[in-house]
Chains A and B, each alone.
Chain A
Amino acid sequence: MTVLNEEQQALRDAVRELADDKIAPRAAAIDQTGEFPWDVVELLARQDILALPFPQQYGGLGGDMISTLLVIEELSRVDATCGLIPAVQELGSLPLLHGGTDEQKQRWVPDLAAGKVLSAFALTEAGAGSDAANARTKATRDGDDWVINGEKRFISQGDVAGLVAVFAVTDTSPEVVKAHRHMTCFYLEKGTPGFTSPRVEHKMGIRGSTTAELAFADARVPDANRVGEIGDGWGLAMKTFERSRPGIGAQAVGIAQGATDVATRYASERKQFGKPIGAHQMIGAMLADMATRTEAARQLLWAAAERIEAGDPHAARWASMCKLFAGDTAMAVTIDAVQILGGYGYTTEYPVERMMRDAKITQLYEGTQQIQRLIIARDLLASL
């Protein structure tokens, strides 16, 4: 079992207090209006929360992985939309951190760490979701530039980001595609001619977090915006997921903890048949299971983070396992929370219906649960 060190506990406590005081009172309105919470971005930037995972030499705090997961969990406990902001900031930046040159990092990371610029990660396309390697967005070399054409879909914060990691096909020859060397990563700045965000999705949950469609019509970027070598794109994306999937796991654990907290308090106050409903065994058992599952998901998450950070050869499997288990936990726990609150839980008067809608996304994005199982199974079989 992982025990948090003093600094991790202090970071967690500080973010918990901030989330309770400043974000929890905003959560219902963010969900209702579906407006991206720029005020929360400012708050997270001011408190250096966005800077946490970035290296110190580029203006970040150089925080360890568990610290970043704690921050995402504590924010997601009160609002999954806000918890996603630091998660996506890291997601969109990871290809740069993994594959960028020192010059590229000097150019972009300080603003990302300071929260002056938001980032996004654009891999998915309308016809290439789980089968992301089948993407069609193309980048063609033209002198010192690259010209990008195509569309991306379901890009978290794609329209509000100032810097987007775009994965485009640079080689279609069958043997290159087969070797997964057909994609290259480019960083596009907002305002690049030909790069637009034509629409955002209307969603079931995380409604304040914008999910955008991105369009590229002869969008031109200099070769200096290419991150990693030509053909490195797929590898960079997969390496990114090893670090970003636990972030979604942390979001899921946060949602589950938030729902467990609300349901526990409600069960201690709501009386039926002359006693608090939590004292009825059927409700008590549900609470016990919710708390147990949530803690198990959290411990798996921290165990995964320690292994991934230590460079475990099975990092991809660990990332998938913790995201899979936490996502399913968030879904199950929030469904039970609504059940415990009964009719009240089904109304917007209480936050659990929002938490239940928010939980669903953790089973879908950064690879569906089915894809996670596929990755885990493949790694198990390949390790024989």
Chain B
Amino acid sequence: MNIVVLLKAVPVVGTERLDSGLLTDRSVQLEANGNDEYLLEKALKLTETHGGETIILTVGPAGSTEPIRKALAMGAARAVHVADDAIRGSDMRATLEVLAAALRKMQPWDLVFAGADTSDGQGGVLGAALAVRLRLPYLSYASEIEPTDAGVRIHRINLTGYDILEAPTPAVVMGTQLLGAPRYPSLRGIMQARSKPVEAWSLADLDLAPAAVGGGAATTKTLDSAKPPERAGATFVREAPDEAVAKVLEFLAGRRLI
């Protein structure tokens, strides 16, 4: 079973900022999107158990190389990195075109794994949109993924337990953190990752015209960005633990909360 994991390189959580064009500034240090790593871990476990390859697909700037290398160090067999200056400014719809074209070129594969959303874009639609675009079954919010004879079966948490859903492959699966924590790359993995293939594709490799993607092709636009107003009255406790505990107790007692 060959599994393509969509891996986005996002700004290190907590360091996000917008550039002058109100786009996420991706010149900062990038890391693998946390929600994608749960799917990567599951893909690695599945291919280790059932055979096949875990393949990384990343669309993003040059700074994506390090997160890709980490995924290879964790055990992915190879990666495809689509990078092209014209992609900058793409909205989710334009990104979808790039991903769909790359996945078509990467065929054959059995499954595409997508994280629930990304820490910078937060749209949470790309998995579903890809399934529609590629005319494939879509299984969302998987808390467990296992192969069947002719396809794939997932668990999806419901109010009383979990649903079991099945689909024939190829299919797109979106999963949650219930799939399990990602592993730490081993030193052997890190050293082997240096010699694993990373294919670099441009838009030309995908037969996509620059005008079809990027800011010009975007159907949505960020008009403005604002920080929420600071909430008044917050008290920061920055003392050492003993003093801090005393202060918190005093605060609560003063309001008759304890």
Q: When the two chains form their complex, are residues A47 and B69 in contact, meaning their CB atoms are under 8 A apart? A: no
Q: CB within 8 A of A46: which of B186, B191, B242? A: B186
Answer yes or no: A331 CB below 8 A from chain B CBs: no
The 3 closest A-B pairs by CB, nearest first: A48-B187, A48-B188, A48-B186
Decide yes or no: A10 and B69 within 8 Å by CB, A46-B186, A47-B187 being known contacts.
yes
Q: When the two chains form their complex, are residues A51 and B238 in contact, meaning their CB atoms are under 8 A apart? A: no
| Cα(A288)–Cα(B73), bound, Å | 36
Taking CB atoms, residues of chain B closer than 8 Å to A193 are none
- A interface, by DSSP: helix, strand, loop or mixed? helix
Which residue of B has the minimal Cβ distance to A343? B240
Q: CB within 8 A of B188: which of A18, A61, A271, A349? A: A61
Contact pattern, B 189-207, Cβ under 8 Å of A = 1, otherwise 0: 1110110000000000000
Answer yes or no: A217 CB below 8 A from chain B CBs: no
Which residue of A has the minimal Cβ distance to B69? A10
Contact pattern, A 368-383, Cβ under 8 Å of B = 1, otherwise 0: 0000000000000000
Q: When the two chains form their complex, are residues A61 and B191 in contact, meaning their CB atoms are under 8 A apart? A: yes
Taking CB atoms, residues of chain A closer than 8 Å to B189 are 48
Residues of A within 8 A of B (CB): 6-7, 10-11, 14-15, 17-18, 21, 46-49, 51-52, 61, 63, 71, 269-271, 344, 349
Interface size on B, residues (CB 8 A): 16
Contact pattern, B 38-77, Cβ under 8 Å of A = 1, otherwise 0: 0000000000000000000000000000000100010000
Which residue of B has the minimal Cβ distance to A349? B241
Q: When the two chains form their complex, are residues B184 and A51 in contact, meaning their CB atoms are under 8 A apart? A: no
Q: CB within 8 A of A10: which of B73, B188, B240, B241? A: B73
Taking CB atoms, residues of chain A closer than 8 Å to B240 are 270, 344, 349
Residues of B within 8 A of A (CB): 69, 73, 184-191, 193-194, 238, 240-242
Q: When the two chains form their complex, are residues A51 and B241 in contact, meaning their CB atoms are under 8 A apart? A: no
Q: When the two chains form their complex, are residues B194 and A47 in contact, meaning their CB atoms are under 8 A apart? A: no
Which residue of A has the minimal Cβ distance to B194? A7
| Cα(A11)–Cα(B188), bound, Å | 9
Assuming A7-B194, A46-B186, what are 6 further A-B pairs, CB within 8 angstroms?
A10-B69, A10-B190, A48-B188, A61-B188, A63-B191, A270-B240
Which residue of A has the minimal Cβ distance to B192? A61
| Cα(A301)–Cα(B191), bound, Å | 23
Q: When the two chains form their complex, are residues B188 and A14 in contact, meaning their CB atoms are under 8 A apart? A: no
Taking CB atoms, residues of chain A closer than 8 Å to B191 are 7, 11, 61, 63
Number of residue pairs A-B, CB distance < 8 angstroms:
45
Which residue of A has the minimal Cβ distance to B191? A61
Question: B176 to nearest A CB, angstroms?
Answer: 21
Q: When the two chains form their complex, are residues B184 and A61 in contact, meaning their CB atoms are under 8 A apart? A: no
Question: A110 to nearest B CB, angstroms?
Answer: 14
Q: When the two chains form their complex, are residues B238 and A47 in contact, meaning their CB atoms are under 8 A apart? A: no
Taking CB atoms, residues of chain B closer than 8 Å to A51 are 187-188
Taking CB atoms, residues of chain B closer than 8 Å to A71 are 187
Q: When the two chains form their complex, are residues A14 and B73 in contact, meaning their CB atoms are under 8 A apart? A: yes
| Cα(A48)–Cα(B244), bound, Å | 41
Q: When the two chains form their complex, are residues A49 and B184 in contact, meaning their CB atoms are under 8 A apart? A: no
Q: When the two chains form their complex, are residues A18 and B184 in contact, meaning their CB atoms are under 8 A apart? A: yes
Question: A14 to nearest B CB, angstroms?
Answer: 5
Which residue of B has the minimal Cβ distance to A6? B194
Question: B132 to nearest A CB, angstroms?
Answer: 37
| Cα(A269)–Cα(B238), bound, Å | 7
Q: CB within 8 A of B190: which of A7, A21, A344, A349? A: A7
| Cα(A271)–Cα(B190), bound, Å | 42
| Cα(A280)–Cα(B216), bound, Å | 53
Which residue of B has the minimal Cβ distance to A270? B240
Taking CB atoms, residues of chain B closer than 8 Å to A270 are 240
Q: When the two chains form their complex, are residues A11 and B241 in contact, meaning their CB atoms are under 8 A apart? A: no
| Cα(A48)–Cα(B75), bound, Å | 14
Which residue of A has the minimal Cβ distance to B65? A6
Q: When the two chains form their complex, are residues B184 and A47 in contact, meaning their CB atoms are under 8 A apart? A: yes
Q: CB within 8 A of B187: which of A6, A49, A269? A: A49
Taking CB atoms, residues of chain A closer than 8 Å to B184 are 14, 17-18, 21, 47
| Cα(A47)–Cα(B74), bound, Å | 11
Q: When the two chains form their complex, are residues A14 and B187 in contact, meaning their CB atoms are under 8 A apart? A: yes
